[in-house]
Every structure is written in structure tokens, then in C-alpha cells.
Structure 1
Amino acid sequence: MLSARSVFREILDQDESFRLFCSIAASGEAQGGWENGRIAALVPEGERALAPKIARHGADEDKHGRIFHALLKKRGLRPVAVPHETDYTMLLEKHGIGLAHEQLKADKPLTVPDIVTYLAHSRVTEQRASEQMRLLLRHFADHPDIGRAVRMISADEDNHLAYCHEELLRFARAGHGRAIQRTLRECALAEIRVYRDVSLSVMDHMGRLLHWPHAKRQLLTGGIHAMYAAERAGGWRRMVSLRMPERRDALGGPATAAPELA
């Protein structure tokens, strides 16, 4: 029977597909770490209290990248070059979502609207990350190779999402509510398209590595398109709602150390 668990199991059990999976994940996390690090350095003077939380977010992303590299090393594998069409973070930037890398490479301080844009982008992408890790957690929390990593990363992603909710609500109370909702909607609608395209590309690469039959590829492709249709019809709204999280100040402390996985 074809299921998310069976598909992920195939990917995790074969060295080349596992290599691609971890390489894509590590690349995206490293990119997120760099982006958050630059944003923390460029936070406007009036919002400097936010800088340590943004830096903590970046440190977590860097840690996740190291974890995926450690998982590869544990299997005796080296990272592989990430195919352009599977690079989620790069494609989001190409679609104008979040802050442009050229802006982050400069030394000019960001503005409050820039920080609102960053937080709205993060709220959308962290929703996706949290959901993906909860899916892996449901099926592989006790997996001998990746279980420990999945548990740690899932907890971190939930913290990141909570932090985005809390900070966006703070900015909404300060008068940025309309800008926040507009930016969240734009980000969400762009993200679901990028996620669809990246998912199709990743499944295509995995299908070739795992020699999936045509019928299986078609079934998985159909599932991805069906998910996009559901998100386009209204599922995207889960990415734009804001509510005060149960855990307050989720990024208020230092980043937790990565477990020794290699």
C-alpha cells in the first residue's frame, strides 16, 4: 500500500536517495541560518531586543544543517550537489518572498517593515517545516538512525513557529496589522506554488534513484497536485492566521546543542 510512511521508508533505506534527501535538507537549513544571522546583525535600533531571538533562530537552522550532515557521515556518505529545481529557499527568494539576499549582504540597517516582512515569511515557511517534521515524527520518532534528529528538529520548528506568532501579534498591536495580513497572504500563495514545484522535482529525482514504476510516479504526482489544489482552494489560510502560542518567548534562551549523531 502506498503511504507517506512507505515512501519515506524507501527514501531513507536506499543510500543514494537518503544522500539526496539529507543534502537538500542540509542546504536549506544552512541557507536559513545565514539569512537569520544577517537579519540579526541588521535589526533596526528600535528593535534590537529582537536580535538575540533572530540569532537563536539562525543558530537552530545551522544546527539542523549539521545534524543532516552528521546523518550522512554516519552512513559513510558525502553530500551531493542540490539540484536547482529542488532548492526551496532559493526559489522562494526568486519569487520575491522574504528579504532579498542582496539586501542582506549590504551593511544598511533594516527597517521595521523589513522585519515585519521577515517575520511574515518565516511564519509561513515555519508552518510548512513544523508540519513536515511532525509527519516524520509520527512515523519515525523511534527510527534507529534518524529518530533522535527528527525529535530535536521537530521541537525546534515548533518553537520557531510559536516565536513568529508572538512577534507578529506584537507588531500587529503596534499598528502593522494590515501590512502583516497582506504580506502573509502573498507569502502563503507563493509558498504553496513553490512547495508544489519542489515536491514534484524531488519526487522525480527520487523516482529515478529508486526506479519507481511509471504508475507509482503518476500516483505520487497526482497526490502532490491534489494537495496543491486543496491548499489553493483554502488550505493556505492556515498559514496566515495568528494566535498567541501556549509557549511564550520560545526563542528567549540560547540554542540547544546538537546531539552527537556521527
Structure 2
Amino acid sequence: MLSARSLFEEIIDNDETYQLFCSVAASGEAQGGWENGRIAALLPESMRHLAPKVARHGADEDKHGRIFHGLLRRRGLSAVEVPPETDYTMLLERAGIGLAHDKLKREEPLDEADIITYLAHSRVTEQRASDQMDMLRRHFAGHPEVGNAVRIISGDEDNHLAYCHEELLRLADEGHGPTIRRILHDCARSENRVYRDVSLAVMAHMGRVLGWSRPKAAVLAGAIHASYAYERTHGWRRMVTLTMPARRDALGGPATPEPEFA
């Protein structure tokens, strides 16, 4: 019977698919670390109070990248080039999600509208990350090879999501609510499409390596399309609502160190 657990077990039990999985994850986390680091450096004067939290967010993402590289080293593997069609962060940028890298590479301060955009986009993408890591934590928190990494990263992603909720609600109280709602809705629609396309591409690569039968590959592709259809009609709401988190000031301290194996 196909399940998320059985599929992931197939992926981590095979060196080649495990290598691709960790490489894709490490690349995305490193990109997120760079983006947050640049945003922290370019914050407008009126929002400099966010600098420690944005920097902490970036430090967490960098840490996650090192964790995935550490998982590869433990198995005697190295990172491989990420196929462009599986590069979630690159495809998000092409879809207009997040701040353009050309802007982040300059030394010109960002403005408040840029930071609102950054936080709203992060609220959507961090929901995705939190959901994915929650699924992995439910099934693999006790796994001898990846369990520790899953628990650490999942906790961090929950913190990132809480931070986005809290800061966006504060900005909404300052009168930015309509702008935030518009950006959240636009971003959720675009992110859903990107996530569908990346999921299909990743499953196609995994299937070729693992020798999945045509019916099995078709069932998995159908499930991805069905999930996308659900998100377009109903699931998107979880990505655009704002609720004050139980965990307040979630990024108020320094990043926790990665485990020793990384």
C-alpha cells in the first residue's frame, strides 16, 4: 500500500535518491539563509528592530543546510547538482514570490513595502515547510539516521511560522491589513502551482532511479494533482489566515546549534 511513510522509506533506503533528496533540501535551505541574511542587512531604518529576528531566521536556514550535508557525509555521500525543475526556491523567485535576488544583491536599503512582502511570502512558504516537517516528524522522529535532524528542523520551521504570524499581525494593526491579505492570496496561488510542479519533478526523478512501474508512477502523479486541486479550492485558506501564535517571540534568541554529526 502506498503511503507517505513507505515512499519516504524507499527514498532514504536508496543512496542515489537519498543523495538527491538531501541535496535538494540543502540547496533550498542555503538559499533561504542567504536571502534572510541580505534582508537583515538591508532593513529600512524604521524596521531595524526586526534585524535580530531576520538574522536568526537566516542562521536557522543555514544550519538546516549544514544538517542535510551532515546527513550525506554520515553515509559517505556528497551533494549533487540540483535539477532545475526540482529547485523550489529558484522557481518561487521566477514566479515572483519573495524579493528579487537582483534587489537583494544591491547595497540599497529596502523599504517597508519590501519587508511586508517578505513577511507575507514567508508566511506562505513557512506554512509549507512546517507542514512537510510535521509529516516527517510524525513518521520518522524516531528513525536512527534522520530522526534527530527531522525533530530539530521541524521545531525551527514551527518557530519561523510563528514569527511570521506575529509580525504580520502587528503590521496589520498598524494599518497594513489590506496589503497583507492581497499579498498572501496572490502568493498562496503561485506557491501552490510551484509546489505541484516541483513535487511532480521530484517524484519523476525518484521513480526513474527506484524503477517504479508506470501504474505506480501514475498513481503518485494523480495524488499530487488531486492535492493541488484541493489546495486551489479549500486548502489555500490555511496559508493565508493569521492567528496570534501560542509561541510568542519565537525568534527572539540565538539559533540553536546543529547536532554534532552535521
TM range (shorter): over 0.9
Tell me by how many angstroms 1:261 deviates: 1.7
Distance in 2 between residues matched to 1:119 and 1:79, nearest whole Å: 30
Q: Which residue of the partner structure matches residue 204 of structure 1?
A: 204
* Structure 1: gaps spanning 5 or more residues: none
Tell me by how many angstroms 1:237 deviates: 1.1
Distance in 1 between residues matched to 2:183 and 2:51, nearest whole Å: 21
Q: Percent identity, aligned pairs only? A: 71
Tell me by how many angstroms 1:176 deviates: 0.5
Q: Which residue of the partner structure matches residue 161 of structure 2?
A: 161
1:1-44 alpha-carbon deviations (Å, 9 max, x no partner): 11010000000000000000000000000000000000000000
Q: Which residue of the partner structure matches residue 99 of structure 1?
A: 99
Residue 123 in structure 1 maps to residue 123 in structure 2? yes
Matches within 5 A, 1:13-92: 13-92=13-92
Report the AA paired with residue 164 of structure 1: C
Matches within 5 A, 1:89-238: 89-238=89-238
Distance in 2 between residues matched to 1:124 and 1:240, nearest whole Å: 7
Distance in 2 between residues matched to 1:4 and 1:258, nearest whole Å: 26
Secondary structure of the residue aligned to 1:258 is: coil
1:241-260 alpha-carbon deviations (Å, 9 max, x no partner): 00100010000000000001
Count of residues in Structure 1 that have an aligned counterpart in Structure 2: 262
Distance in 2 between residues matched to 1:145 and 1:208, nearest whole Å: 24
Aligned residues: CA RMSD: 0.5
Secondary structure of the residue aligned to 1:247 is: coil
TM-score when normalising by structure 1: 0.99
Secondary structure of the residue aligned to 1:145 is: coil
Distance in 2 between residues matched to 1:122 and 1:102, nearest whole Å: 18
Distance in 2 between residues matched to 1:46 and 1:117, nearest whole Å: 16
Tell me by how many angstroms 1:124 deviates: 0.1
Report the AA paired with residue 186 of structure 2: E
* Structure 2: gaps spanning 5 or more residues: none
Report the AA paired with residue 136 of structure 1: L
Kindly report structure 1 stretches of 4+ aligned residues shifted beyond 6 Å: none
